[in-house]
């Protein structure tokens, strides 16, 4: 494409952008809001996925022994678990005394927890069992749960199932939001572009009689749509990026065990996709209007 | 150069604008299409530039059927045919020079070719001094001359004009006819649809008379009215 032509297209596009004033602003705002919400959903799902896969790869199982079971029996159970159940790498016993000590540390040193609890330790002994493979966790947990004296078994996968349940809904909601919001954005851009088409219909008509190609006639409109989409996307990206980064910074302070995604490559790629989506939305919106007018 | 075979045009509302037109127009000819209002003159022009498609029949230009053109080929047909309308169709917010050079810009001509060519055609229609004027500052005749300059800037082989003098007084009409005649002398086939009797009678050229969509007369050195 010749530079002259490009400049001609650009000039046309910017003239129209400013002529459509409020409509341009409205469609930019719609694109921005749409992409911000879509991006938020995407980051939410991505983080949930990361948490899920971390939990999934967790090979630890925690098994609580009934409080009434005496220590000797507990040690026997430990032997049984490490010998009889396949795939177990090791079994670590956390005795109730240690559990209480840990609890005490949390409450502060001067606090006499035992006294407060009436001289008795209410905590159970528990095992931390490590599986060889993440895939074996579920079977091991089931086997351990089958032991009479074991009261409760917890492992990452159990949490995951609930998490996946929620995640499914979040994803569905995200898709619905994406379809509706991009639809709205495409519609508003197409309305804006139609204004431009009407404003320039005389010129378009003349161009057709002179023998301009549809391609030549349509370009300024595509460009206008894409610029609208691009500006909207840029606003959405900026807002999304800064709010996400500050949110993660705050959350990591309190929830430092959750692996929030802060990988710049991943974030950069996400933002690029959103930018592309903005441009596509813009091009699509103008395509609808231009096609209808040119009867392509 | 231009051939029409059994061409009929019925609009979607059922109006029969043209019926069974057979016609051959030679290269370099000067031709009037005359007839009362509603006779089908504009419809004829629209068929030539493929603004409309005939309901029946075949139209050949330069040995090629223009009905078989793909959508993407239509612009190339239009580049071979310059068009002038009764209402000039100039862009109000552009100067005379810009209106004329616009036609070459749209065709993506290199800019070093555009300026000299634009000046050349403006000189040809006698508007060299009005390059920087806007259409609203021109008389009707001058505006029509700008439209003619725009139509011929890319040296089309055919120039069609639909009532080019429809809004003009006799003096301006004469001027327009002179310009069209000059363009014809340079080798362009010129087709003028008109009901301007004075213009038709002032030069003895081929006249095709339409009546209710049919050709009722085809005189090689004709006048507006039948002279029999
Ligand atoms: N787009 C259209 N749809 C339906 N009917 C049309 C259309 N264009 C023209 N007609 C009809 O076709 C007939 C011929 O019209 P046309 O414009 O070709 O006549 P004309 O000879 O150019 O008349 P005028 O001298 O008034 O310009 C008329 O009856 C007109 O109403
Ligand atoms: Mg007419």
pLDDT in tens, A1-26: 667 777 877 777 777 777 777 778 88
Please check whether residue B42 is in contact with residue B201, taking contact to mean a CB–CB distance below 8 angstroms. no
Q: Which atom of ligand 1 is nearest to the CA of B35?
A: 21
List the single residue in A with minimal CA-CA distance to B107.
Answer: A212
Q: Which of B88, B106, B118, B151 to mutate to test the interface with A (most CBs of A within 10 A)?
A: B106
How crowded is the C-beta side of B180, counted as CA atoms within 13 Å? 32
Structure tokens of A246?
């500050």
Q: What is the percent of chain A with per-residue pLDDT over 70, rounded to a whole number? A: 93
B127, part of any domain: yes
pLDDT for A144 equals 78
In this prediction, residue A296 has a pLDDT band, given cuts at 50, 70 and 90, of very low
Average pLDDT of chain A is: 81
Please check whether residue A82 is in contact with residue A90, taking contact to mean a CB–CB distance below 8 angstroms. yes
In sequence order, what are the residues at sequence separation of 6 or more whose Cβ sits closer than 8 angstroms to the Cβ of residue A116? none
In this prediction, residue A108 has a pLDDT band, given cuts at 50, 70 and 90, of low
What's the first-to-final CA gap in chain A, in angstroms? 22
- Cβ distance of A209 and B150 shorter than 8 Å: no
Dist CA A132 CA B120 (whole Å):
88
Range in A12-21, B99-108, B145-154 the model is least confident about: A12-21
B123, part of any domain: yes
Mean pLDDT, range A116-129, rounded to an integer: 77
More confident position, B142 or A290: B142
pLDDT for B157 equals 94
Q: Which of A259, A277, A268, A283 is nearest to A36 (CA)?
A: A277
Window 171-210 of A: residues touching B by CB (8 A cutoff) are 202-203, 205-210
| A187 CA: distance to closest CA in chain B (Å) | 27
Cβ-count burial of B222 within 10 angstroms (0-12 exposed, 13-18 middle, 19+ buried)?
Answer: buried
* pLDDT surpassing 60 at residue B228: no
Q: CA distances (Å), B6 to each of A114, B29, B31, B57, B214, in order?
A: 111, 21, 19, 5, 11
What is the CB neighbour count within 10 angstroms for residue A123? 18
- Cβ distance of A205 and B105 shorter than 8 Å: no
Mean pLDDT, range B212-224, rounded to an integer: 88
Mean pLDDT, range A271-294, rounded to an integer: 88
pLDDT in tens, A63-95: 888 888 888 888 888 888 777 777 787 888 888
Q: Where along chain A do its domains lie?
A: 3-55+161-294, 60-155
- Cβ distance of A208 and B78 shorter than 8 Å: yes
In sequence order, what are the residues at sequence separation of 6 or more whose Cβ sits closer than 8 angstroms to the Cβ of residue B91? A202, A203, A206, B98, B99, B102, B135
Dist CA A235 CA A241 (whole Å):
10
Q: Which residues line ligand 1 (CB under 6 A)?
A: B 11, 13, 15, 17, 35, 37-43, 195
Q: Is A154 left (phi over 0), alpha (psi -120 to 50) or beta?
A: beta
Mean pLDDT, range B153-167, rounded to an integer: 93
| A55 CA: distance to closest CA in chain B (Å) | 58
pLDDT in tens, B53-64: 999 999 999 999
More confident position, A122 or A40: A40
Please check whether residue B54 is in contact with residue B121, taking contact to mean a CB–CB distance below 8 angstroms. no
pLDDT for B129 equals 95
pLDDT for A178 equals 82
Range in A100-114, B33-47, B150-164 the model is least confident about: A100-114
**Residue-wise burial string across B138-171, b where 16 or more C-beta atoms lie within 10 A, e elsewhere:** bebbbbbbbbbbbbbbbebbbbbbbbbbbebeee
Number of domains, chain B: 1
Q: What is the percent of chain B with per-residue pLDDT over 70, rounded to a whole number? A: 99
* pLDDT surpassing 80 at residue B181: yes
Please check whether residue A156 is in contact with residue A252, taking contact to mean a CB–CB distance below 8 angstroms. no
**Protein residues placing their CB within 5 Å of the ion ligand 2:** B 42
pLDDT for B66 equals 93
* pLDDT surpassing 80 at residue A39: yes
In this prediction, residue B80 has a pLDDT band, given cuts at 50, 70 and 90, of very high
Dist CA A145 CA A59 (whole Å):
16
Dist CA A93 CA A90 (whole Å):
10
Complex prediction ipTM: 0.87
Specify the CATH architecture of the domain A60-155. 2-Layer Sandwich (3.30)
C-alpha gyration radius of chain A:
31
Enumerate the residues of chain A whose CB falls inside 8 A of the CB of residue B105: 4, 8
Domain ranges, residue B143: 94-155
Q: Which of B45, B49, B75 to mutate to test the interface with A (most CBs of A within 10 A)?
A: B75
Best mean pLDDT range from A148-162, A247-261, B166-180: B166-180
B212, part of any domain: no
In this prediction, residue B149 has a pLDDT band, given cuts at 50, 70 and 90, of very high
Structure tokens of B147?
């439209």
- Cβ distance of A210 and B106 shorter than 8 Å: yes
Range in A106-110, A171-175, B85-89 the model is least confident about: A106-110
Best mean pLDDT range from A163-172, A268-277, B56-65, B107-116: B56-65
Structure tokens of A217?
């006639």
Dist CA B60 CA A191 (whole Å):
40
In this prediction, residue A27 has a pLDDT band, given cuts at 50, 70 and 90, of confident
* pLDDT surpassing 90 at residue B212: yes
> Could you give the dihedral angle defined by the CA atoms of residues B14, B15, B20 and B22, in that order, rounded to the nearest 10 degrees?
-130
């Amino acid at each position: 494409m010749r530079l002259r032509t490009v400049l001609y297209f650009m000039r046309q596009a910017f003239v129209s952008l400013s002529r459509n004033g409020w409509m341009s602003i409205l469609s930019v705002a719609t694109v921005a809001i749409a992409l911000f919400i879509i991006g938020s959903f995407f980051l939410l799902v991505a983080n949930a996925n990361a948490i899920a896969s971390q939990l999934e790869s967790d090979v630890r199982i925690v098994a609580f022994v009934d409080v009434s079971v005496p220590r000797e029996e507990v040690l026997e159970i430990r032997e049984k678990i490490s010998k009889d159940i396949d795939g177990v790498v090791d079994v670590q016993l956390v005795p109730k005394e240690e559990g209480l000590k840990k609890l005490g540390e949390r409450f502060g040193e001067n606090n006499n927890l035992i006294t407060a609890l009436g001289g008795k330790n209410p905590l159970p002994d528990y095992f931390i069992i490590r599986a060889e493979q993440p895939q074996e966790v579920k079977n091991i947990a089931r086997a351990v749960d089958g032991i009479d004296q074991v009261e409760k078994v917890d492992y990452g996968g159990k949490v995951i199932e609930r998490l996946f349940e929620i995640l499914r809904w979040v994803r569905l909601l995200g898709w619905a939001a994406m379809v509706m919001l991009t639809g709205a954005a495409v519609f508003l851009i197409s309305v804006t572009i139609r204004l431009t088409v009407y404003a320039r219909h005389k010129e378009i008509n003349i161009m057709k009689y002179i023998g301009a190609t549809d391609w030549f006639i349509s370009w300024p409109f595509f460009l206008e749509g894409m610029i609208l989409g691009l500006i909207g996307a840029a606003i959405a990206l900026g807002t999304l990026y800064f709010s996400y980064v500050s949110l993660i910074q705050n959350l990591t302070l309190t929830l430092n065990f959750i692996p929030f995604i802060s990988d710049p490559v991943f974030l950069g790629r996400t933002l690029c996709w959103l930018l592309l989506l903005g441009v596509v939305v813009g091009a699509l919106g103008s395509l609808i209007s231009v096609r209808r007018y040119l009867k392509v | 150069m231009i051939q029409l075979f059994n061409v009929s045009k019925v609009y979607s509302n059922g109006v029969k604008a043209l019926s069974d037109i057979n016609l051959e127009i030679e290269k370099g000819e000067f031709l009037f299409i005359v007839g009362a209002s509603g006779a089908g003159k504009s419809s004829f022009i629209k068929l030539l530039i493929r603004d409309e498609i005939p309901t029946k029949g075949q139209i050949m230009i330069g040995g090629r059927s223009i009905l078989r053109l793909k959508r993407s080929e239509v612009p190339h047909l239009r580049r071979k045919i310059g068009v002038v309308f009764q209402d000039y169709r100039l862009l109000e917010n552009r100067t005379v020079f810009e209106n004329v050079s616009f036609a070459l810009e749209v065709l993506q001509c290199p800019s070093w070719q555009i300026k000299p060519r634009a000046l050349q055609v403006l000189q040809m229609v006698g508007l060299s001094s009005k390059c920087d004027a806007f259409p609203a500052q021109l008389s009707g005749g001058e505006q029509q001359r700008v439209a003619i300059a725009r139509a011929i800037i890319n040296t089309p082989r055919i120039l069609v004009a639909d009532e080019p003098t429809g809004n003009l007084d006799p003096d301006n009409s004469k001027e327009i006819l002179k310009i069209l005649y000059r363009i014809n002398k340079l080798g362009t086939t010129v087709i003028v649809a008109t009901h301007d009797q004075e213009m038709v009678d002032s030069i003895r050229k081929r006249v095709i008379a339409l009546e209710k969509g049919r050709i009722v007369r085809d005189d090689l050195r004709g006048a507006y009215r039948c002279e029999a």
